[in-house]
Amino acid sequence: MDGILKHIHSTEDIKNLNEKELKQLCRELRRFLLQKVSKTGGHLASNLGIVELTVALEYCFHLPEDKIVWDVGHQAYIHKMLTGRKEGFDHLRQLDGLSGFPKPTESDCDAFAAGHSSTSISAAFGLAKARDLTGGKEHVIAVIGDGSMTGGLAYEALNNVGKEHTRMIVILNDNQMSIDTNVGAISRHLNSLRTSYQYRGWKEAVKQFRDNVPVIGEGTYQVLKNVRDGAKMLLTGGALFEQLGLKYIGPVDGHDLPDLIELFENVKEMNRPVLIHVKTIKGKGYPYAEERPWAYHGVGAFDLKTGQPLSKGGRSWSSVFGDKMVEIGKKNPKVAGITAAMSGGTGFEKFQRAFPKRFFDVAIAEQHGTTFAAGLAKGGVTPVFAVYSSFLQRAYDQIVHDVCMQKLHVVFAIDRAGIVGADGETHQGVFDISFLSHIPNMTVLSPKNAWELEEMLDFAVNEWNGPIAVRYPRGTAETAFAEQKEPITYGKAEVIQKGRDIAVLAEGHMLKPAAEAAERLEAEGYHPVLVNMRFLNPLDTELLKEIAETCAHIVTVEDNLRKGGFGSKVLEYYGDAGIQTDVLNLAFPDKYIEQGTQAQLFERYGLDAAGIYNSIKERLGE
């Protein structure tokens, strides 16, 4: 660890550093970040770009008394290093290690937990109003990226902040990126602000006129200031924020540490809401990340010298989806693609390149994306909305009200369903079976392998005519059970292995560990039935009834929370039908699941092959 950084244990330790030492600290922080993230993986480019901004903030404000709310939170690594957690970076995003996101249970310097986009201004506004109501004096700062500013929640908050005229600071960290390149009118507006240096030059000229012509300078300064402010509206477009009731300052250089410190010290004295537009370079200080910031947004372990990943997996579920959608798009001209700023992450960029007029990136706006899809469907188009499971949670009302109530043919391709691993609690996709399968008219499927994902997409787009979701996990697509290619039939499960006494029902990729557990049972003289559920809603009740007649014990296995999962629906069916049978639901418990690799978490919660086998044996009293 470098010279100055090794002495930094809290933000108070940086307050006595001079300008030269602070700049040296920034260089050390970048080196430390690169060294650690290249070994553990994590969010790299966004944190490289926010070094000076973070140092300036924590130099000027006093944590934890003052509150900094980080939007999404993936850019808070430097903040963590300055608040006593740099030793934890050897286990960043690992099982029981340092979280990759702000976590108040980890440090009282983390003012608010985060992991999803566009929440910071709302949360900071709440903290500021709570301060006012309780007689506090602390400063409250929201740090939000320009990517997050494409989410409607940010504007709902800004509208409220300006109306209430609440004292707080919003820092717009503008690096022209989120995960993918930003799109839409808001992005274009911010781009117009970035090019407004002619206004900044005029501003400086007004100041110089006042200072250099003291006899008439002060007398005419106010007139010139009014002209300057008019130019500000014309040349910078800052009127958007000013009209919402916030004082707009910027754009300013987010890597000019002395200027940032001077600016923050001045802004601290303002008794009104202020928005500071800070321009930064995503990936700054690491050439590979500066050239391709999207590729270094979230990385696995990589070679620091070459920038290349240390390991390469097989074909991903996302890639399978993307390739199949191109094939479907060629055959069906009515198919359109939708993503919420995640064309690369979901594998949809192939469809985007092939059919640019039929592809829509709605930015970080899942609610809008869902209702937009409903409108397309109503107009005779078949929209496929590719979205991460944890992000789809934001569109729950739109799914219920705008899609399912009207029985519209919208296809939800739910990527990262189930356990995702190192991103932890905020990103685990373990709720979608529960929150989708109880909605009337919604069909939910889960594929056992890559071939079945392709078949389910074909079914969802070309054969079905109503709301339908296909959920699939993160990582390398499963290739097991390649010989099992029974056609998809609505509402029907697939019997992989016939038997008696014990039935193991698995959803999606959980079929593989379930099959391994069944194989162990068979070696001990049991004759388990093995079922690939395929349809999680509706269930194959005909098969469930048949199984109950021959099996005294039924086991369900799913990559979802136990409550509301397909196992719960199996229990509900048997209860409603008055069928007496023993049902064991194997799923994740009713809690937020921590970070760790997928394999580690399946093992910890008894959902790997050994855990499934042991749970069944325990149920059998053995």
Residue 69 three-state SS? strand
Question: Catalytic pick from 80, 282, 324, 474?
Answer: 282
What Å distances lie between residue 442 and 128, 232, 369, 523, 533, CA to CA? 41, 51, 17, 40, 16
| Active-site annotation holds for 282 | yes
The β-bridge relationship of strands 501-506 and 359-361 is unpaired
Rg, the chain, Cα only: 27
Nearest partner of 382 among 348, 344, 351, 409, judged by Cα: 409
Query: For residues 189 and 195, what is the distance between their CA atoms, to the nearest angstrom?
Result: 10
Beta-carbon-side half-sphere exposure of residue 345 (alpha carbons within 13 Å): 26
Question: Catalytic pick from 28, 58, 349, 366?
Answer: 366
**SS3 sequence, 394-462?**
HHHHHHHHHHHCCCCCCEEEEECCECCCCCHHHCCECCHHHHHHCCCCCEEECCCCHHHHHHHHHHHHH
Nearest partner of 167 among 268, 264, 263, 273, judged by Cα: 273
CB 356 within 8 A of CB 406: no
Please provide the size of the chain in residues.
Answer: 622
* Residue 272: CB atoms within 10 Å: 12
The β-bridge relationship of strands 247-253 and 274-279 is parallel
| Active-site annotation holds for 394 | yes
CB 595 within 8 A of CB 423: yes
Residue 350, token pair as written in the block: 């192939």
Question: Catalytic pick from 93, 210, 394, 448?
Answer: 394
Cβ-based neighbours of 195, under 8 Å, separated by 6 or more: none
| Active-site annotation holds for 366 | yes
Cβ-based neighbours of 220, under 8 Å, separated by 6 or more: 209
* Long-range contacts from 392-399, C-beta under 8 angstroms, 24+ separation: 392/366, 392/432, 393/431, 393/432, 393/435, 394/116, 394/366, 394/367, 395/366, 395/367, 395/369, 395/370, 396/435, 397/367, 398/367, 398/370, 398/371, 398/374, 399/370, 399/436, 399/439, 399/442, 399/467
Query: For residues 223 and 292, what is the distance between their CA atoms, to the nearest angstrom?
Result: 46
Active site residues: 282, 366, 394
